[in-house]
């Protein structure tokens, strides 16, 4: 069964955050809160964890997983951000956006879109997610915790633990973090394309 962590949403307990990071480093898959609903996450090099996330969500290899980064500097290690889009993305982060961009060599091929060689990246505003990313010192490979057949993501940590305790290794509960997923914007082509309208305001990209 998954380990259950009750984390304060504004002042995360350092010892608990360190324990969750250890679960991730040991190859675990976690359910954690962001500023736009819960997500599933694992370490960047965790091939089995990535497979488990895709299995839980019933995703094929063409569905973008997201690299959830601590800050813009870390994001820049994994995607190419040209001058054209730098200011737009910088102004929108941290926040409820996922950006699709060309992947650098730091991104394993299995995480890249097989045809476009792109990957999704985001920088969350959520305090607990930021604390975990700081402790890890690297991104989390993530996907919105939206189960097959459901219209909305799960929002209660105890409910996630009850339903997915057999499928994940840790669940972080820090209260309700909303049901609206990120706004997804594809910057890999000449003009930005809004692929999904979500929690982030799209007016700056239209």
Alpha carbons 132 and 12: distance in angstroms, whole number = 9
Alpha carbons 142 and 181: distance in angstroms, whole number = 12
At a CB cut-off of 8 Å and minimum separation 6, what does 149 contact?
none
Return the DSSP state at 162: H
- pTM for the model stands at 0.95
Tens digits of pLDDT across the chain (206 residues):
899 999 999 999 999 999 999 999 999 999 999 998 899 999 999 999 999 999 999 998 778 899 999 999 999 999 999 888 889 999 999 999 999 999 999 999 889 988 889 999 999 999 999 999 999 999 999 999 999 988 888 888 999 999 999 999 999 999 888 788 899 999 998 889 999 999 999 988 87
Tokens of 140: 């989390």
> Residue 17's pLDDT is what?
98
> Residue 165's pLDDT is what?
93
> Residue 155's pLDDT is what?
80
Delimit the domains of the chain by residue range.
Answer: 3-205
User: Look-up: residue for tokens 């307990």?
Assistant: 13
Dihedral sign computed on CA atoms, order 81, 79, 31, 159: positive
CATH level 3 topology of 3-205: DHBP synthase (3.90.870)
Helix (H, G, I), strand (E, B) or coil at 128: helix
How many C-alpha atoms does 139 have within 13 Å on its Cβ side? Answer: 29
Alpha carbons 129 and 24: distance in angstroms, whole number = 13
């Amino acid at each position: 069964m998954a380990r259950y962590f009750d984390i304060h949403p504004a002042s995360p307990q350092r010892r608990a955050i360190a324990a969750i990071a250890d679960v991730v480093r040991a190859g675990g898959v976690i359910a954690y809160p962001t500023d736009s609903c819960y997500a599933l996450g694992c370490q960047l090099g965790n091939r089995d964890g990535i497979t488990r996330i895709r299995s839980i969500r019933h995703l094929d290899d063409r569905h973008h997983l997201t690299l959830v980064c601590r800050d813009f500097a870390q994001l820049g290690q994994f995607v190419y951000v040209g001058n054209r889009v730098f200011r737009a993305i910088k102004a929108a982060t941290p926040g409820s956006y996922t950006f699709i961009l060309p992947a650098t060599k730091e991104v394993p091929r299995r995480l890249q879109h097989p045809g476009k060689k792109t990957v999704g990246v985001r920088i969350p505003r959520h305090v607990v997610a930021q604390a975990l990313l700081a402790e890890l010192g690297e991104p989390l490979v993530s996907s919105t915790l939206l189960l097959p057949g459901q219209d909305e993501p799960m929002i209660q940590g105890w409910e996630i633990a009850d339903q997915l305790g057999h499928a994940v290794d840790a669940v972080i509960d820090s209260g309700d973090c909303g049901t609206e997923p990120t706004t997804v914007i594809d910057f890999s082509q000449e003009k930005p394309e809004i692929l999904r309208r979500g929690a982030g305001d799209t007016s700056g990209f239209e």
